[in-house]
């Protein structure tokens, strides 16, 4: 499983050609150690914006 994660991040980094900048970030704590993180990125060359929402949690204290 760990190999798949590393491979995914390398594949993502290899295909990302733009210099993305962070426009805004916000974190919202939830219950049971869950954190919702909202990130807005912008590619200044292509004038594109991307919104990324992450759910961050410890695998030891949370289950799906």
Which residues have a Cβ under 8 Å from the Cβ of 43 and sit 6 or more positions away?
18, 19, 20, 21, 49, 50
The CB-side HSE value for 22 (13 A sphere, CA atoms) comes to 7
Which residues have a Cβ under 8 Å from the Cβ of 56 and sit 6 or more positions away?
34, 35, 36, 37
What per-residue confidence (pLDDT) applies to 1? 46
Q: What is the pTM of this model?
A: 0.60
CA distance 18 to 44: 9
Q: What is the pLDDT of residues 1-59, one digit of tens each?
A: 454 554 455 555 555 566 788 899 999 988 777 889 999 989 888 788 889 998 888 77
């Amino acid at each position: 499983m760990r190999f798949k994660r590393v491979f995914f991040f390398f594949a993502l980094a290899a295909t990302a050609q733009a210099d993305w900048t962070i426009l805004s970030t916000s974190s919202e704590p939830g219950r049971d150690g869950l954190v919702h993180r909202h990130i807005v990125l912008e590619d200044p060359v292509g004038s594109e914006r991307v919104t990324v929402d992450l759910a961050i949690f410890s695998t030891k204290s949370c289950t799906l």
